Structure 1
Amino acid sequence: MVDAPNPEAQTWQRWKAALDFALKDKKYTEWLQKCEKINKRYRDDREAPAEIRRRRMNILWSNVQTLLPAVYAKAPKPIVERRFLDRDEAARLASTILERTLSMQLEVSGFHDATKRGVLDWLLGGMGQVWVRYEPQFTTEVEAAENTRIQTQEQKSSNSEDKIQENGDGTPYQKLAYEKVCVDYVFYKDFLWGSSRFWTEVPWVGRRVWLTRSEIAEKFYKGDMQAASRITLDTMPERLRDDKGRFDDGAPSFFRKAEIWEIWNKADQTVYFMAPGTPDIVLQQEKNPVLQLQDFWPCPRPLYATQTNETLVPVPDYVEYQDQAAELDDLTGRISALTTALRANGVYDSSIPQLARLLQDGQDNKLVPVDQWAAFAEKGGIPGAISLVPIKEIADVLLGLYQARAQVKSDLFEVTGMSDIVRGQSDGGAKTATEQRIKGQFASMRLEDRRSEVARFCRDTIAIMAEIISEMFSDDSLMQMSGVSQMFEEDVKRAVEEVPPPQEPEFPPDMPPEQQQMMMQQAQEQAAQEFQQAQQQAAQQAQQKAMGNFQRAIEILRSDKLRGFRVDIETDSTIAADLEADKQGAVELVRSTFEGLMGAGQIVMQAPELLEPMGQLLMFAYRRFRVGRTVEASLEDALDQMGKRLQQQQGQPPPSSPEEIKAQAEMQKQEAETKRDEQKHQFDMQAKAADFEMEQKRNAVELAKAREELEIERERLAMKREEMEIQRETMLLKAQIDAQSASMRAEASEREHMLNRESAEHGHDLNMQTMEAKAHAAQQQARAKPKEKA
């Protein structure tokens, strides 16, 4: 009898094969090997003793440290606006709620740390990624009469503060205490995708995490440790491996973790959790997951470096200039070796060990005794017994290596686009501001592409966060996190203050004072009661209006279609903030608003029917300034009140005489001119103050720039002085050696001359002795001849 197939085992085998196929892809494995080498070079990890002694220039670390703050220096601010900048109260409130909630969640979600780590992976290995998830927190409470449990996903769109559903079985219920969106950093080795040519073809994505047994039990088995014990713990820290890479069986068990893959398959809209080390077990399988995201993925399109159209596997930037970097390391090593060799070295005759003391003792004007001087002199003296290594040739080669390294750095910067203006340096002579600006513009062209890619990555991540907040967060959480409840309180307070106070009653002049006083008291009590009722009614109406706007705003956020049609999500710059631009925008907003109000006031006085189109035109221009969004509603209310007052004025009877009309018009004209002059004076003072402050900041920036340039020039001069000092010491050393060599040669020549003179004198003595001996022999021979004759 054949056993029935196990669906869970088939699912595990299917995804185990998919993971193995993706992990063993040739391009992917080669990319991982390159990333590992690049990370070691960035950290400057050296294992072999020869590598430790070798001098290198870590240009990779320098480039990454320069690019990282240039493309991502701070977390962006979310910007949620109406897609069409018209007067849509519900859409404006929805934008305000979502923007404020996003701003709060960005601070607690870990967005900045995860994004910065992802950007670093992108600059090093060529890919960076984050993962977005929804994390609610509950408090467990016991209710005696009636207990409830967590509200289901179908009821999350309703207006419920506790997100609970009646259960009635007497069990404890969970109440929502807090909810947030978490942004997790995903290491480049822990992110995987299905085989595809470009991102829109990706069939599935997955990330890898390592969990302990207790974490597995809590996440997948509701705290059941016995059920979690089936999962194999196959991972331990690298430091607990033995020499052969095997895990140490004697290590504590709490160090062990299981490799868990979270896979999102777009084809069947299902999320799978599986452990490759535990066969035939799927930890969790969720069809149509709770996060019904528009693009399904809980992660944005990754940050990719250089790519081609046939694969998603990127090419790290370092690969494109690794040859130049290796050449820099080689030149730096040679420079270090020659610098060490730039000293007086040489060889000497080992039969005369006293010669080694001449340069080792470091003393001047000292004579060293030498045994067997005659034999030493016959060998040529010191010039014949000592030979020094040439120093001038080494110094010339060293200067050539410095020039070659500078040229290689120039070639490398040309390849990477990392010009000296990006690094804040300036070589050569003085350059004009125009030359520097043009150079900076061309240098920032490739940098701007990187900034745009990081901004896109942040925008996609924030869009996923906004989608989770809109669909998952309760109404109460949205109200508390966005602070709209305080806005509603201010609206109610304003409505109560706008209620007109009661007027004093009028009585006939012939009414007795006692009766007037009694009726005055009754009228005041009745007026106070009516005024209080009017305030309560105004407060209720304002509260109902605010809650109605809030409910319409929530409907927009809950609906995918309405949110897409009426709300637009963007981000501001992820690089360093431009405070001057923000301040200039605020000044321009104030200037244009004042000018528009003054101009509209003069026109409306002559033609009241133009109030509404003038107000719409003013608000159309006002909404273009993002810095003025907080007072947009107040300005609209002010324009509405102005229109109401104008209508009331039009409904009043005209003055009795043309003279009064002319006098009133003249007075209004004078008041308008006075007010306009005051506003103009105030605006001029504000503009002058702003210009003065901007001038001070500009002078401070120029002073700081001049100081930096002066410091750079000082460093260059210091390096020049060091180079001249090295050359001077080299020349002095050469002169000393030449002087010593000449002295030794002179001393040797003098000794040779003395020896020759002594030899000559000795030869002369020998000749005299020989001549005397010959004369003596001749005398004896002469004396002997007469005797022979006799």
Structure 2
Amino acid sequence: MAEAVNPQAQTWQRWKAALDFALKDKKYTEWLQKCEKINKRYRDEREAPSEISRRRMNILWSNVQTLLPAVYAKAPKPIVERRFLDRDEAARLASTVLERTLSMQLEVSGFHDSTKRSALDWLLGGMGQVWVRYEPQFEPQIEAVENQQIAGQEKAEQDFQENGDGSPYDKLAYEKVCIDYVFYRDFLWGSARYWYEVPWVARRSWLTRSEIAEKFYGGGDEGMAKAQQITLDYTPDDTGDKTKLSDEITSFFKKAEIWEIWNKADQTVYFIAPGTPNIILKEEKNPVLQLQDFWPCPRPLYATQTNDTLVPVPDYIEYQDQAAELDDLTGRISALTTALRANGVYDSSIPQLARLLQDGQDNKLVPVDQWAAFAEKGGIPGAISLIPIKEIAEVLLGLYQARAQVKSDLFEVTGMSDIVRGQSDGGAKTATEQRIKGQFASMRLEDRRSEVARFCRDTIAIMAEIISEMFSDESLMQMSGVSQIFEEDVRRAVEEVPPPQEPELPPDMPPEQQQMVMQQAQQQAAQEFQQAQQQAAEQAQQKAMGNFQRAIEILRSDKLRGFRVDIETDSTIAADLEADKQGAVELVRSTFEGLMGAGQIVMQAPELLEPMGQLLMFAYRRFRVGRTVEASLEDALDQMGKRLQQQQGQPPPPSPEEIKAKAEMEKQQAESQRDEQKHQFDMQAKAADMEMDRERNAMELEKMRAELEIDRERLEMEREKLAIQRDGMLLKAQIDAQSASMRAEASEREHMLNRESAEHGHDLNMQTMEAKAQAAQQQARAKPKEKA
């Protein structure tokens, strides 16, 4: 019994064989080996120990560093134009939306870095490539509702879009196009002689198990269990000695080799892991992108090619012999420069001579013993013999001349003249000769620049296709900023609404009633003017949104987009600011001259206004710097035509049907106006009566308020009088209290003085008595002495 056929295993075996056949192709493997050597030479990685001391001239690095900014110095600016530059409002808006969105995406997609790396691969190995991806970012709707509730907004539950199992869809939060750089070893193609014969292209990537589970199996425990079947067969070379590392440590570095294969024949994308047999990670029939040329990548940057194979020849191979000769001559020059020294021998019996050259001092005299014998031997010339260096110097000069000639030959092979490098060999050449030489050098570079510009244009065209078909209307409006254009249209429509006019009142109406009626009429006119402005704004908004929807239809349709929109890019080399300035000046000058000339012609022949306007716009649209004011200029020409028709006379007479319809309309308008005027006068009369009653009531109320105010003032005066009397009584009481206190203090002070006086008198009496007693005692003592 025959075994059951496993379709997945057959598909895996088929593509594993196709990858092995392409990877083992003789020309392809030889090209990879050359690229490896060229990269090492560019990085100046010297393997042999004998080469460490050898001098080299890395002309490869010099050429690449000169060519890279000459062919790609900055990211290009996308230019999206109407294909025939006619007056197509929808196509012009579609071009504006797509161009602005592309400009924004170029900044966030990694375009510049990926393209620059690809250009470096192209200059070194002969091929450079990028890969374009669409990357939407989603936000769970539950979190979105919570964020809105925090912000004070509400969202109904029925607004949720649900999956089949009842769970809500994730909300689209952001969209972008990613430009991935593809290393030349990770890009592969089916056997073909030229690009349009290629049956399939493939890109290799290295993923961990968690990345495999998330990308191919939806993540989670179930996805991780399926990812365990995939063999991790890749470990980076820079993890050191793997024999000394444990399996647990090396597992952090291991990844699986995954090939993403786009097969054009069956319009299917396959993801396989060559190290895991009989398993297709993912098979996507008619992928979501649905690109016009199917490939998610442009035609690569190719160096020298022949018509029998797509494998390129690196530029370095074409001049590797001259580069090797330069290295050889540079090594010889280095060796001879080392040998170009003052070496020799001297008489050992006079050791002082060695100090003349070894000490390295100027203006020094060395003493010599036995000078007479030294002089007899011929002095210094007879005692020192140096190695002849004249011959070495001549050989060295010859090597310099030979190297200069080899460099000249190499520049002729590569086209890297001194003009391209910004050098000059002196003032011998005239300015004309220098310019001619630079022009021929630029002609050889022009092909390279054109190839890089083509590569950028193809990449941007793929980006434009993804943006047109995958991005939502909200994302296109937000990224392009066309809402500002719509706001300007709405503002212009609102400003064009005529202001309200003053109403006409009957002359016999009383002045008070006229004022009231005038105020009411002004209020009503202001309301009608506001309603008219709102209506004009709504109409302008509806018109703008209608144009936007038609523009989106053009972008969504492959045929319409191809027929009505053209995508180009500006230069990828350094910007010429002087050229941009000159273009702007030329635009302004030609526009003013065209308007003045057209105005003079139209004044004499008004029928030439339309062709003259079309001719002016035809020339104006050729200037890219004037695209932002193109619509304004068209509107100005239209208004000029209308004004000219009004000045010339009335429009053609209407038909009888139009006259009848107009009369009926005027009759209905007159009746409605009469009814409306009658209703307005009735309302005005009622309003006047109400206003008089309101004024009468206001006067009575004002009188009552005045009387109340007088009573309040009288009461306030009584209160002030009572307050003054109370303050006087309080002041008198305070004065009496202070007087009594002062009298008491004076009496007490007088009593104290009297007591102090009495005490002082008593003390004086006592002192007098004591003095008298002492004098008596002295007299008594003195009498016996006299007697004796």
Give identity over the alignment, percent.
89
Aligned to 1:506: 504
Aligned to 1:670: none
Aligned to 1:780: none
Aligned to 1:24: 24
Aligned to 1:190: 186
- What are the within-5 Å matches in structure 2 for residues 267-346 of structure 1? 267-346=265-344
Residue 608 of structure 1 and its aligned partner are, at CA, apart by 3.2
The answer as to whether partners of 2:500 and 2:529 remain within 8 angstroms in 1 is: yes
Seen in structure 2, the aligned counterparts of structure 1 residues 394 and 298 have a Cα distance that, compared at 3 Å, is same
Q: In the alignment, residue 234 of structure 2 is paired with which amino acid?
A: T
Separation in 1, partners of 2:88, 2:182: 40
354-363 or 517-526, which deviates more: 354-363
Seen in structure 2, the aligned counterparts of structure 1 residues 250 and 541 have a Cα distance that, compared at 3 Å, is closer
Seen in structure 2, the aligned counterparts of structure 1 residues 143 and 27 have a Cα distance that, compared at 3 Å, is closer
TM-score of the two chains, using structure 1 as the length reference? 0.76
2:440 to 424, 442, 457: 442
Residue 356 of structure 1 and its aligned partner are, at CA, apart by 6.2
Aligned to 2:207: 211
Aligned to 1:141: 141
- What are the within-5 Å matches in structure 2 for residues 102-501 of structure 1? 102-142=102-142, 165-167=161-163, 169-223=165-219, 224-240=223-239, 242=241, 249=247, 251-346=249-344, 359-361=357-359, 365-366=365-366, 388-501=386-499
Separation in 1, partners of 2:16, 2:419: 51
The structure whose Rg is larger is: 2
The answer as to whether partners of 2:242 and 2:250 remain within 8 angstroms in 1 is: no
Residue 90 of structure 1 and its aligned partner are, at CA, apart by 0.3
Q: Deviations over 1:556-575 (max 9, x none)?
A: 00000000000000000000
31-40 or 534-543, which deviates more: 534-543
Q: In the alignment, residue 487 of structure 1 is paired with which amino acid?
A: I
Residue 637 of structure 1 and its aligned partner are, at CA, apart by 1.4
SS at match of 2:238: helix
Q: Deviations over 1:212-271 (max 9, x none)?
A: 111111101111211111111111121225389x98746342211111111100011000
SS at match of 1:210: strand
Q: Deviations over 1:389-442 (max 9, x none)?
A: 221111111111111111111110011001111111111443222111111111
Aligned to 2:149: none
- What are the within-5 Å matches in structure 2 for residues 743-762 of structure 1? none
Q: Deviations over 1:330-351 (max 9, x none)?
A: 1111111111111122457999
TM-score of the two chains, using structure 2 as the length reference? 0.76
Residue 171 of structure 1 and its aligned partner are, at CA, apart by 1.9
Residue 508 of structure 1 and its aligned partner are, at CA, apart by 5.0
Aligned to 1:9: 9
Q: In the alignment, residue 203 of structure 2 is paired with which amino acid?
A: R
Q: Deviations over 1:53-100 (max 9, x none)?
A: 110001111111101111000000000000011110000000000000
The answer as to whether partners of 1:163 and 1:175 remain within 8 angstroms in 2 is: no
The answer as to whether partners of 2:235 and 2:250 remain within 8 angstroms in 1 is: no
Q: In the alignment, residue 141 of structure 2 is paired with which amino acid?
A: E
Separation in 2, partners of 1:506, 1:29: 96
Aligned to 2:67: 67
Separation in 2, partners of 1:408, 1:140: 67
Aligned to 1:78: 78
The answer as to whether partners of 1:236 and 1:247 remain within 8 angstroms in 2 is: no
1:563 to 556, 561, 582: 561
Separation in 2, partners of 1:170, 1:439: 73
Q: In the alignment, residue 581 of structure 1 is paired with which amino acid?
A: A
RMSD: 2.9
Residue 524 of structure 1 and its aligned partner are, at CA, apart by 2.4
* Runs (5+) with no aligned partner, structure 1: 146-161, 654-790
SS at match of 1:568: strand
SS at match of 1:55: coil
Residue 485 of structure 1 and its aligned partner are, at CA, apart by 1.2
Separation in 1, partners of 2:167, 2:519: 62
SS at match of 1:251: helix
Separation in 2, partners of 1:441, 1:278: 56
Separation in 2, partners of 1:108, 1:93: 23
The answer as to whether partners of 1:421 and 1:440 remain within 8 angstroms in 2 is: yes
Seen in structure 2, the aligned counterparts of structure 1 residues 66 and 103 have a Cα distance that, compared at 3 Å, is same
The answer as to whether partners of 2:160 and 2:168 remain within 8 angstroms in 1 is: no
Q: In the alignment, residue 229 of structure 1 is paired with which amino acid?
A: Q
Residue 594 of structure 1 and its aligned partner are, at CA, apart by 1.1
Aligned to 2:766: none
Seen in structure 2, the aligned counterparts of structure 1 residues 380 and 438 have a Cα distance that, compared at 3 Å, is closer
Q: In the alignment, residue 199 of structure 1 is paired with which amino acid?
A: W
Q: In the alignment, residue 94 of structure 2 is paired with which amino acid?
A: A
Residue 504 of structure 1 and its aligned partner are, at CA, apart by 1.8
Q: In the alignment, residue 545 of structure 2 is paired with which amino acid?
A: M
Separation in 2, partners of 1:142, 1:43: 53
The answer as to whether partners of 1:263 and 1:272 remain within 8 angstroms in 2 is: yes
* Runs (5+) with no aligned partner, structure 2: 146-157, 652-788
Seen in structure 2, the aligned counterparts of structure 1 residues 194 and 517 have a Cα distance that, compared at 3 Å, is same
SS at match of 2:232: coil
The answer as to whether partners of 1:585 and 1:627 remain within 8 angstroms in 2 is: yes
The answer as to whether partners of 2:54 and 2:331 remain within 8 angstroms in 1 is: yes
Seen in structure 2, the aligned counterparts of structure 1 residues 530 and 435 have a Cα distance that, compared at 3 Å, is same
The answer as to whether partners of 1:137 and 1:177 remain within 8 angstroms in 2 is: yes
Aligned to 2:733: none
Q: In the alignment, residue 594 of structure 1 is paired with which amino acid?
A: F
Separation in 2, partners of 1:288, 1:163: 31
Seen in structure 2, the aligned counterparts of structure 1 residues 522 and 14 have a Cα distance that, compared at 3 Å, is same
2:607 to 599, 606, 609: 609
The answer as to whether partners of 1:100 and 1:481 remain within 8 angstroms in 2 is: yes
Residue 144 of structure 1 and its aligned partner are, at CA, apart by 13
Separation in 2, partners of 1:521, 1:386: 124
SS at match of 2:21: helix
119-128 or 432-441, which deviates more: 432-441
The answer as to whether partners of 2:305 and 2:311 remain within 8 angstroms in 1 is: yes
Separation in 2, partners of 1:317, 1:261: 29
Separation in 1, partners of 2:513, 2:142: 66
Seen in structure 2, the aligned counterparts of structure 1 residues 417 and 164 have a Cα distance that, compared at 3 Å, is farther
Q: In the alignment, residue 315 of structure 1 is paired with which amino acid?
A: V
2:640 to 622, 639, 642: 642
Seen in structure 2, the aligned counterparts of structure 1 residues 527 and 359 have a Cα distance that, compared at 3 Å, is closer
Q: In the alignment, residue 134 of structure 2 is paired with which amino acid?
A: Y
Seen in structure 2, the aligned counterparts of structure 1 residues 610 and 520 have a Cα distance that, compared at 3 Å, is farther
Separation in 2, partners of 1:381, 1:25: 76
